[in-house]
């Protein structure tokens, strides 16, 4: 059965998402909704959408639509999630799931009350290199885990709601660094301790931190380091992940279709087919979880877990010391 998915909010990333759905057009029907009806119609024409709406409530009320992809600003995620849930539509919501735990819990509660699936669009988990790293770790390819490092410095100038502390929910860490928090949990388990520090500001505007370093530790001692920032430098190095174990190391660039494994057996490069930044397998997981009546891999509960790590990191920044999670 096809997934009838309405993209809610026609911004830049909605276009990236819709373009990435091209290989799935036999599996997914797209619709578009925006407060600007002309913009929604433009996206529908450009990306072969079946219809367009100038109102999110009108889209939610349409019986043709089975699910809604919330690609709207962070401060609107709860409002739009509740609109979808109360209309009986399944929900795929962009990261961060919400700005705080109260909002995220309300979203999860309403989804469960309405009997709909709530999935967080953490596409990084579905990248080929990430999934292969998870398998290699489980198979003991690098021995016992010791440390994971996640690094990204992105050329970006936050504007409008992203430069508004209240609407964004923070700065770069909640906006993009939450991807790294989710990956860290996925690959090493939930940490129990976090220490974080913001970096000196490099960009104009004062909406929130534009750089952060976060160090975590799991109950069994695995250390995580997230170094995530926005920069005015136009050509930063690609984002990367390095995973160290007692017998080897895994290294890959996020979004690249390859992975390097080095262990006692030598060094090898594993290559994969391009997976459109993990967006295609992510949407397939969303569809399959609906059809199979099960929790998706990046469920609402998983989204709350990543949010907890980020919020505790902010708490650590304010206190200037490590804080406990749990």
Question: Could you tell me which residues are beta bridge partners of residue 258?
Answer: 271
Q: Are residues 137 and 77 in the same domain?
A: no
- Examine the fold and report which residue of 81, 99, 121 is the final residue of a domain before the chain moves on: 121
Q: Are residues 30 and 83 in the same domain?
A: yes
Which residues neighbour 139 within 8 Å (Cβ) at sequence distance 6 or greater?
Answer: none
If one counts the domains in the chain, the total is 2
Q: Is the pLDDT of residue 138 over 90?
A: yes
The 10s digit of each residue's pLDDT in 238-286 is 999 999 999 999 999 999 999 999 999 999 999 998 887 999 999 999 9
Q: Assess if residue 300 is contained within a domain.
A: no
pTM of the model: 0.96
pLDDT for residue 274: 84
Confidence of residue 233 (pLDDT cuts 50, 70, 90): confident
Q: Assess if residue 147 is contained within a domain.
A: yes
Three-state DSSP at 167 gives helix
Q: Is the pLDDT of residue 226 over 80?
A: yes
Neighbours of 154 (CB within 10 A): 14
The rounded mean pLDDT for the chain is: 96
Q: Is the peptide bond before 96 cis (omega within 30 degrees of 0)?
A: yes
Q: Are residues 114 and 16 in the same domain?
A: yes
Longest dimension (CA), the chain: 59
pLDDT for residue 183: 98
Structure tokens at 224: 């995580």
The 10s digit of each residue's pLDDT in 27-43 is 999 999 999 999 999 99
pLDDT for residue 196: 98
Q: Assess if residue 97 is contained within a domain.
A: yes
- Examine the fold and report which residue of 106, 121, 136 is the final residue of a domain before the chain moves on: 121
Q: What is the CATH number of the domain that holds 86?
A: 3.40.50.720
Neighbours of 182 (CB within 10 A): 25
Q: Is the pLDDT of residue 201 over 80?
A: yes
d(C-alpha 141, C-alpha 250), whole Å: 9
Determine the distance from the C-alpha atom of residue 304 to the mean position of all C-alpha atoms in its chain, rounded to a whole number: 12
Neighbours of 13 (CB within 10 A): 13
**SS3 of the chain: helix, strand, coil, percent, to 5:** 40, 25, 35
Q: Are residues 39 and 139 in the same domain?
A: no
Q: Is the pLDDT of residue 44 over 90?
A: yes
Question: Which range of residues forms the domain containing residue 93?
Answer: 3-121
Q: Are residues 181 and 99 in the same domain?
A: no
Q: Is the pLDDT of residue 63 over 80?
A: yes
């Amino acid at each position: 059965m096809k997934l009838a998915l309405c993209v809610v909010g026609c911004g830049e990333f909605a276009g990236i998402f819709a373009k990435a759905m091209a290989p799935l057009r036999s599996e997914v029907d797209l619709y578009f909704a925006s407060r600007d009806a002309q913009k929604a119609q433009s996206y529908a024409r450009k990306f072969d959408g079946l219809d367009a709406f100038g109102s999110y409530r009108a889209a939610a009320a349409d019986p043709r639509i089975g699910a809604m992809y919330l690609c709207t600003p962070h401060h609107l995620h709860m409002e739009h999630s509740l609109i979808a849930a109360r209309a009986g539509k399944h929900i795929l919501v962009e990261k961060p799931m919400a700005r705080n735990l109260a909002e995220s819990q309300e979203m999860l509660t309403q989804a469960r009350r309405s009997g709909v699936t709530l999935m967080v669009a953490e596409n990084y988990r579905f990248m080929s290199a990430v999934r292969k790293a998870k398998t290699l770790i489980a198979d003991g390819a690098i021995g016992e885990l010791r440390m994971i490092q996640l690094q990204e410095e992105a050329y970006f100038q936050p504007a409008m709601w992203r430069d508004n502390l209240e609407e964004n929910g923070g700065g770069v860490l909640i906006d993009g660094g939450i991807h790294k928090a989710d990956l860290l949990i996925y690959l090493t388990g939930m940490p129990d301790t976090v220490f974080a520090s913001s970096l000196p500001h490099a960009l104009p505007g004062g909406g929130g931190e534009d750089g952060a370093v976060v160090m975590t530790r799991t109950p069994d001692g695995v250390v995580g380091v997230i170094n995530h920032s926005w920069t005015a430098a136009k050509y930063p190095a690609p984002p990367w992940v390095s995973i160290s174990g007692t017998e080897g190391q895994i290294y890959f660039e996020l979004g690249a279709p390859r992975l390097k494994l080095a262990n006692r057996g030598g060094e090898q490069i594993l290559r994969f087919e391009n997976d459109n930044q993990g967006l295609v397998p992510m949407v397939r997981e969303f569809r399959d979880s609906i059809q199979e009546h099960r929790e998706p891999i990046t469920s609402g509960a998983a989204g709350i877990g990543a949010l907890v790590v980020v919020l505790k990191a902010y708490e650590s920044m304010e206190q200037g010391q490590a804080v406990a999670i749990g």
